[in-house]
Each structure stands twice: as structure tokens, then as C-alpha cells.
A and B are shown apart, each in its own frame.
Chain A
Amino acid sequence: MRRSFIARNPSILVFLACLALFTLAITLMSEATGAGLISTSFVKTLGKTLCLCLVAVAMDLVWGYCGILSLGHFAFFGLGGYMVGMWLMYARTEIIVAGSLANAPLPPTPAEISDAIGSQIFGVVGSSDFPLIWSFAHSFWAQMALVVIVPGLLALVFGWLAFRSRVTGVYLSILTQAMTLALSLYLFQNESGLRGNNGLSGLQNLPGVGAGQDAVSMWFFWGSALALALGYVICAWVVSGKFGSVVRGIRDDEARVRFLGYSVEGYKLFIFTFTAVIAAIAGALYYPQAGIINPGEVAPIASIYLAVWVAIGGRGRLYGAVIGAALVSLVSTWFTGGLVPSIRLGFYTVDWVDWWLVLLGLSFVLVTLFAPKGIGGLVDLITDRIAPNRHGADYGPDKGALREGEGRK
């Protein structure tokens, strides 16, 4: 009855092994550390994909396990990116400015340096003063803390207001959409202090690092893989055990959980804030690889995509979310990159850059209607075939496997 955490969740080991193999393979094929079979830009794409997998795991936790269909988690992802972007932009501009002012006849005062950095960063929005929100941008550690604090605090306040009013279901989804839309519209303004629609750019250049992009891309790739592995294990731990029981109970029958004496609001707030922090960390790793972040990234549609990934991959199983996010975002890159040949029908040419969204929408509808378990559900077929006597199967949804569990008592 009391088996270890890993023994109860054998899928974790399988997942970690797959991730490790994948990381090793890419490392051996990259330009910086291997045979140079794949380009630096593709390594970046894969690194970014790992970050998207991490935010999908967070989405699965909040939606697949706790039943809160949040359509606003990309707001937290974007905020994490903005927080890390502020430090990257500041520190890099500081080095450039210091370099150019070093040749001046008089050594520059700190105020002069600050002004020069300000006019470099904010010139595009016709300003040169640092807004208040850039107060900590000079400090790496302070800004890294803000990666967690700012989105976490937003989720905490938003969640507290929403959950204590018992807003649930589609109303909560709409509310989260409104939140991410409001954030996006706010960031679009030049007065927001984050360079309006220009966003933050040049994030791929790490300040004070001489190494080329081929090496930097590998560092971020490894960092993303590590973050995904850690995030996956922590999320799997959170949903195992009694906490997981309560959270899944909330998903299935919230009122019943209340009558058992559990404060449903507290649990929802915990999950919502926790997943917002994971999303923010994923975003903080994503945007230095993307190189640029602008308010369009937190547009409502981004969060809807996130839900689509998790639905296609299989809701309520963490590896399903990873599969969904990886597959859909990579296929999306392939289609929208113009690499898929257009289909000429004579009277009309199907251009996949435009038609990809139709394909994605169609597959979302088909999966929801005909394969609610998603792609992750295919794993059930395999596990049944290989190990019909698997004792862990009592957690699986299949009837056959459950009977094995009965006999185990």
C-alpha cells in the first residue's frame, strides 16, 4: 500500500529517460557541442519547445487535474519573459554605453551612464527616463526574483478575487481571457514603461558573455530541459498522494470536497498560483531564446493555444501535455515556416501558412469528439499490451487493468 513515489508513478522514469535521451541526441548533433548536423536556429526552436512543454505541464495541472480551465496562463508566461528581458536589456546596454563613454575625455558620472542607458532603451518610445518598474533592472538577482514574484502575485490576487466569489466554469475562463487581454493592451501602451508595441529585443545576447550563439543556444537548451524535468517531477509529486486526491476531487465534484471539510478556494488558489509561477519560469527561459518579446505574446489567443495543446496531448496526464505541446508547436513551426509545399487545385492554391490554423482547429475538434484521451491515450494501449499484470494499473482508467488491482489486495 505504501509504495514509493516513483513506484506509484512509473511514467516519471520513462519520461525522464526520454527527455535525457533527447537532450543527449541534440547535444551530439548540435554545432557547438557535436557533429553540427542541426543548425543553431533549430536548437533554439527545440529549446523553446521544451519551455512550451513546461508551460503545458502547468496548464495540465490547473486544467486537467484541478478542472480550472484557465485561458490566461500565457499572461504569466509573458510576464516571466518581460522580467528576464528587462535585466538582459539593461545589463547589455550598460556594457555598450560604458564602452562608448570610456573614450570620453572626462570619466562619466553614474547619472550620465544611467541617462545614456535610458535614452538607448527608451529612445524608440520617445523617452529617456527610467520608469519606476525598472528600479531593479540593474540587479540580476532582484530581477530573477521578480520573475517569480510578479506573476505569482498577479495570480494570487486574481485567483483570490475569482475563487472566493466562487466564479467557476466558463465564467472563470472568460475572466482569465479578460485578464490576459487587459495585460496585453496595457503593455501595448508606451506609458507602460516596457517600450509599448516594440517590446524588449536583443534578448538572445547575454551581457558579458563572449561565446557565440551556437554555444549560448545549447546552454539555454540544457537549461530548458532541466527546468522541464524538474517541473515535471514536482508537478507529478504535487498531484500524487492526498493533495492530488483532493485536487482531482475538486475537478470532479467541488461541493463534495467542501462537505469533507476542505477549503476548495484555498486549494484552487494554491494550484493557480503555483502553475502561474511555473509558467513564468518557462517564459523566462523561452524569451532569451526567442530574442524578442512584445505585447502580442500575451494576447488572448496564446492562452487558448495552450489549452488546445493540452487537449490534443491528453488532459489529466502530465506526459500528455508534453506530447501535445511538443507535437503541435513543432508541426506548427513546420507548417507556418513555409516548408510544406502548397497544394495546387487549379482553381485554388492551398497555402499551408494560412490553412494550418484550419487544420489545427479541425484536429482539435476531432480529438475532443472522438479521442477525449488525446494522443497520450495511446500509451494505454501499449501499457496494456506489455504488462497486463501491472499492479500500478489500478490508477489507470481501463477496466481490465482495474481488475488486476482488485486481485492485488
Chain B
Amino acid sequence: MATLLEVSGVSVTFDGYKAIRNLSFSIGEAEMRAIIGPNGAGKTTFMDIVTGKTSPDEGRVIWGEKSVNLLKMNEARIAQAGIGRKFQRPTVFEDQTVHANLLMALKNPRPSFACLFYRPSTRDLDRVAQLADEVGLSDALMRMSGELSHGQKQWLEIGMLLAQEPRLLLVDEPAAGMTLAEREHTTDLLKEAAKTRAVVVVEHDMEFVRRLECKVTVLHEGSVLAEGSLDHVTANPKVIEVYLGR
């Protein structure tokens, strides 16, 4: 399988603290990957680097079959290139409707003039309805997204992510604060998405990771400690010591 994203030898230092040390990571085109690790392992910083929020001190981040250097691009360009990100805390535009949120995320030309004269086509409206249905928000399309429950906001954000039609989804703790039933729905959504694109899930919850049934990367102190199936990594003595043993 062709490599979609390749991170190699990346290091970041914040005020003398090495958040990421010589991290290397790669993911294929239609692959699900879970990243686990204790607090401060550098999971969120890793996402910040890939999405352009933080620039590393050294290392390379290479994207796609044309091997584009992501470090030279800003956040908006990286998002346009096909990397979507879901934040730990649900971040949707709360004073706008679910419909407006999804329509804004829909893959369409992004420049200001194109957006100014944009009128939703029937195809776009159908797509929004379909996405809302997928994430279980069909009945809430015209509600202000600020009114939604925590779990619904998480789904709306996943829906917005899917609307962007990214080739790589970076998902930060999607199950945080969800009920069991909501978690199951979220697992299904992510598994479905991973059939056609790469999905990277950062998660604390082992049960959730187990349900994803995918390869696991364990981060510790800013670099990869172990990689493999969940059973494989949880049997690793180093992993038990730094993470599971706690």
C-alpha cells in the first residue's frame, strides 16, 4: 500500500522541553491507526505539526504521491491538500445551524470571491442531508449547533470532517465524554471512513481502541515506543511499564 503521510526524524522543543524527539511515523492510503500514550507523550503536538499549527525544529513531513513538503504550507493549504482534523474538545460554530456548519465544511472552492457568490447546488444540499443522516443529526439540521448535546457536537464535527472529503483524518479523542451507545456509533463512523481514507485516532480509552481493530502506535516522551496490534503492544514490557502499569 502506498504511503500517504510520512513523518521522519521530527523534533520540537518548547522552552527547553522536548515535546517530540526524533519521531517517525507513516500511514498508508486506506488505513486506520490508533495512537495511544500517556499524557505529555506528544500526541496532540504530533497533530499540530502535521496540520501546520506548530513547525518542528527539524525533520520532514511528506504528503501524498507527489511527496509534497507539508512544513512549507500554512494550515489552510494543508487542509485543502486533504488533511482534516477533529479536536479533542468539540469545536463547531455554535451560533450557526448544523446545516450551515456542514455546508461550510463541504468540499468546494475556498477563496473569498468564490465563497461570496456561492449558492448551494442541489447536489451540495443532498450531500449535507446525507452527511447529517450518517452522523445521526438529520432531525437537528436547522438547530443551532450550540444547542446540541456534547455527543452530537462530536458527531457534527466528524460530519464536518467527512464533508471536507479529506484523504487523512486526524481525530483527537473522539469518544471523550460519550455514553456507551454513542461510542459504538462513533466507532462505526470511523471504521466506515477508514475504508476509503486514512484515519489516525488519538485515544486514551483502551476499550475504544480495541473496538477499532487496527494497528496501534504507542508514543512515549515524544517518540514511538512500540507499534503493532493492540495485543502485541500491550504485551510489550516497556509499554506496560510506562503506560499500562500506571
Which B-chain residue is minimally distant from A264 (CB atoms)? B76
Contact A260 B142 (CB under 8 A): no
A and B contact pairs by CB, cutoff 8 A, 27 listed = A2-B125, A241-B116, A242-B100, A242-B103, A242-B115, A242-B118, A243-B115, A249-B93, A249-B96, A258-B76, A258-B79, A259-B79, A259-B85, A260-B105, A261-B80, A261-B164, A262-B76, A262-B110, A262-B115, A263-B110, A263-B111, A264-B76, A394-B143, A394-B144, A397-B95, A405-B144, A408-B142
Contact A2 B112 (CB under 8 A): no
Contact B140 A266 (CB under 8 A): no
Contact A259 B75 (CB under 8 A): yes
**Within 8 Å of chain A (Cβ to Cβ): is B133?**
no
Residues of A within 8 A of B110 (CB): 261-263
Task: Give the CA-CA distance A255 to B47 in the complex, in Å.
Answer: 14
In the complex with contacts A243-B112, A260-B79, A253-B119 CB distance below 8 A: no
Residues of B within 8 A of A258 (CB): 74-76, 79
Q: Report the interface size for chain B: residues with CB under 8 A from the other chain.
A: 42
Residues of B within 8 A of A2 (CB): 119-120, 125
B interface with A by C-beta (< 8 Å): 51, 53, 74-76, 79-80, 84-85, 87, 91, 93-97, 99-101, 103-105, 110-113, 115-116, 118-120, 125, 138-144, 147, 160, 164
Which B-chain residue is minimally distant from A249 (CB atoms)? B93
**Within 8 Å of chain B (Cβ to Cβ): is A248?**
yes
Contact B142 A270 (CB under 8 A): no
Besides A245-B104, A262-B76, 19 other A-B contacts (C-beta < 8 A):
A242-B103, A242-B104, A245-B93, A245-B101, A246-B115, A248-B96, A252-B95, A258-B74, A260-B79, A260-B164, A261-B76, A263-B76, A263-B110, A267-B115, A394-B143, A394-B144, A395-B97, A402-B147, A409-B141
For residue A180, give the distance in angstroms from its CB to the closest CB of chain B.
Answer: 25
Residues of A within 8 A of B111 (CB): 263, 266
Which B-chain residue is minimally distant from A407 (CB atoms)? B142
Contact B96 A406 (CB under 8 A): no
B94, B95, B112, B142: the one contacting A405 at CB < 8 Å is: B142
Which label, helix, strand, loop or mixed, suits the secondary structure of the A interface? helix
Residues of B within 8 A of A206 (CB): none
For residue A246, give the distance in angstroms from its CB to the closest CB of chain B.
Answer: 6
Residues of A within 8 A of B104 (CB): 242, 245-246, 249, 260
Contact A402 B144 (CB under 8 A): yes
Residues of B within 8 A of A246 (CB): 104, 115
Residues of B within 8 A of A270 (CB): 112-113, 116
Contact A406 B140 (CB under 8 A): yes
**Within 8 Å of chain B (Cβ to Cβ): is A125?**
no
For residue A200, give the distance in angstroms from its CB to the closest CB of chain B.
Answer: 35
Contact B164 A1 (CB under 8 A): no
For residue B46, give the distance in angstroms from its CB to the closest CB of chain A.
Answer: 15
Contact A1 B112 (CB under 8 A): no
Which A-chain residue is minimally distant from B94 (CB atoms)? A252
Per the 8 Å Cβ criterion, residues 374-407 of A in contact with B are 394-395, 397, 399, 402, 405-406
For residue B186, give the distance in angstroms from its CB to the closest CB of chain A.
Answer: 20
Please, what's the 1-or-0 string for A221-261, where 1 marks a CB less than 8 Å from any CB in chain B? 00000000000000000100111011011001101101111
For residue A339, give the distance in angstroms from its CB to the closest CB of chain B.
Answer: 41
For residue B120, give the distance in angstroms from its CB to the closest CB of chain A.
Answer: 7
Task: Give the CA-CA distance A259 to B116 in the complex, in Å.
Answer: 19
A238, A245, A253, A267: the one contacting B91 at CB < 8 Å is: A253
For residue B135, give the distance in angstroms from its CB to the closest CB of chain A.
Answer: 15
Task: Give the CA-CA distance A395 to B146 in the complex, in Å.
Answer: 12
Task: Give the CA-CA distance A258 to B164 in the complex, in Å.
Answer: 13
Residues of A within 8 A of B51 (CB): 259
Task: Give the CA-CA distance A261 to B147 in the complex, in Å.
Answer: 25
Residues of A within 8 A of B99 (CB): 1
Q: Which residue of A238, A241, A260, A395 has the most chain B CB atoms within 10 A of its CB atom?
A: A260
Task: Give the CA-CA distance A165 to B159 in the complex, in Å.
Answer: 32
Task: Give the CA-CA distance A405 to B147 in the complex, in Å.
Answer: 12
Residues of B within 8 A of A256 (CB): 87, 91, 93
Which A-chain residue is minimally distant from B113 (CB atoms)? A270
Residues of B within 8 A of A245 (CB): 93, 96, 100-101, 103-104
Contact B116 A248 (CB under 8 A): no
Task: Give the CA-CA distance A348 to B119 in the complex, in Å.
Answer: 63
For residue A73, give the distance in angstroms from its CB to the closest CB of chain B.
Answer: 20
Q: Which residue of B85, B91, B115, B164 has the most chain A CB atoms within 10 A of its CB atom?
A: B115
Per the 8 Å Cβ criterion, residues 185-205 of A in contact with B are none
Residues of B within 8 A of A266 (CB): 111-112
